[in-house]
Structure 1
Amino acid sequence: MSFLMGPALLFCPADRPERYQKASERSDGVIVDLEDAVAPADKQRARGAILAQLGAEGDVPELDPSRTIIRVNPAGTEAFEKDMHCLKHTPYRHIMLAKAESAAQLKELEGYSVIALCETALGVVNAAAIAAEPNVVGLMWGAEDLLASLGGTSSRFDDGAYRAVALHARSAVLLAAAAFGKDAIDSVYVNIPDLAGLALESRDAVASGFGSKACIHPNQVPVVREAYAPSEADVTAATELREAAAAAGSGVFQYKGKMIDGPILKHADATLRRAGH
């Protein structure tokens, strides 16, 4: 099943309600964050902000529930219990579970569509079992929390490239999501001014099969969108390849000196889907 709201999902701290609408307008989906973006002392105020923007009974909420994800605190914590109690009184049923680590945690979230954020060693190791749960609609991975769970100090080298263990986790979560037909969301790019690095990483996310990428600043959204939007040349090439396949009939055929078979045609189809064809 597909849960894709669009290629660029934007985090917004739950304790900054004045940013809710702007975040929604500037992205394909907003992730209202009750976890890392909110200090422990401010979490109750953040829950109150989510409730306050709903207005009077029957009012249309400020945030469209179909395009809003609430990131809740890790299962088993007091903060998580309070988050879920808050959400019972809202129309929001799309949640992101921080530090998801087991299928059992997801079983307790029946009635919610869940993006499981695999950002610890245990969560990455159990990614396939987590992805198999029926209420899981997507998987995301997180680099910095993962390295913290390993006792490491940095997920990237000085040039911005991921370390091997982070790349392994990224691949493991992507493969687990695809194996069970769930969407995969690529992790955030924390160097906000480095839009060139973000563009490079976003293009790799597209080519690798991630359905979307999370952003932490509005300026990152257009960069991600551009990476996910096929160029006119890409669309033309994919269209011509599909036309050549139709003319060739079934089976393997040669096109512009290359062997073309089923997987290559699926690559072309993915390009056309992203272009809205």
Structure 2
Amino acid sequence: MSVISLYVSAGRPGYVEHALTVSGVDAIVLDLEDSVRDADKDAARDLAAELLRFYDGLPPRLLVRINAPGGEHLDADLAALVPLGLNRLRLPQVRTREELDRVLARIAALTEESGVAPPQVELMIETVAALRDLEEIVAGRPEITALTFGGEDYLRDSRAVGAPDDLWEAKRVLVEKATAVGLPAYDTVYSNLHDRDAVWQDAHRAAGLGFAGKSVIHPAQSPVTRDAFAAAASQ
């Protein structure tokens, strides 16, 4: 069964309230990263913490995309959310095993101090280096439960380092490597909100490559995406 994840910005409280009522999606990704301006990061984090307190953790289908390693916001996200029982998170922009080890060590320390269970981690693959070294990065790390592709960031990085920028080839490699390490891979978002046929074609092609699911950025994309994955599975 395909997993459809809906992104919602934690910088828009009204959007979050609406997203929690949306049916037909398997996961709601409360985003603290790309969709939140630096000036709004603290307020977005506070909103995520309020939800954690209200739900005594989070509902199974709600997870949080925290900020990236190397910036000023990651540790604040972890310190605020992990002790409250955050059960799932998406970790963006990891480039090396060392970066992942540091983040997971910090999570382990916070869970030990607070006596909560460690969160499951969906690792975002958004750089050429991360895709190249994927097996090394995730080896022996049971905390990693899924891989998800960050297409726009990957495209920017590939151009910056002079690598080929064919996203579909990168997606094929990701699915191949995810299969080799025994993890599901979820495809990146498709940004065109208004072309139903294009949304369907993009999702159908992703399903054909072997992705286990896909992220969307609007509730209207969800049924189209699910139909595309179902069609691919029936072929």
Query: Which bin holds the TM-score, normalised by the shorter protein?
Result: 0.7 to 0.9
CA contact (8 A) 1:141 1:169 kept: no
Q: TM-score, normalised by structure 1?
A: 0.71
CA offset at residue 63 of structure 1?
Answer: 5.0
2:98 pairs with 1:90: no
Task: Output the amino acid matched with 1:88.
Answer: V
Length-normalised TM-score, structure 2 = 0.82
- What CA deviation, in whole Å up to 9, does each residue of 1:203-232 have, x standing for no partner? 12222211110001111011111122359x
Structure 2 alignment gaps of length 5 or more:
109-117
Structure 1: 4+ residue segments shifted above 6 A: none
Pairs within 5 Å for 1:108-257: 108-109=103-104, 110=108, 111-132=118-139, 133-151=141-159, 165-230=166-231, 234=234
Mapped partners of 2:83, 2:29: distance in 1? 18
SS at match of 1:30: strand
Deviation of the 1:119 alpha carbon:
0.8
1:100 and 2:94 correspond: yes
How far off its partner does 1:167 sit?
Answer: 1.9
Which whole-Å deviations, capped at 9, do the CAs of 1:157-212 have from their partners, x for residues lacking one? xxxxxx85312221222112111111100011011112211101211222221111
Corresponding letter in the other structure for 1:92: L
For 1:129 and 1:18, locate their aligned partners in 2 and report how far apart those are by CA, in whole Å.
40
Could you say which structure has the larger radius of gyration?
1
Could you say what the CA RMSD is over the residues aligned between the two structures, in angstroms?
2.4
Counterpart contact for 1:21–1:62, Cα < 8 Å: no
Count of aligned pairs: 216
8 Å Cα contact 1:116-1:130 kept in structure 2: no
The alpha carbon displacement at 1:150 in A equals 3.1
The corresponding residue for 1:19 is 15
Cα pair distance change 1:85/1:62, threshold 3 Å = closer
Higher relative contact order (CA 8 A, sep 6+): 2
* Structure 1: distance between partners of 2:205 and 2:136: 26
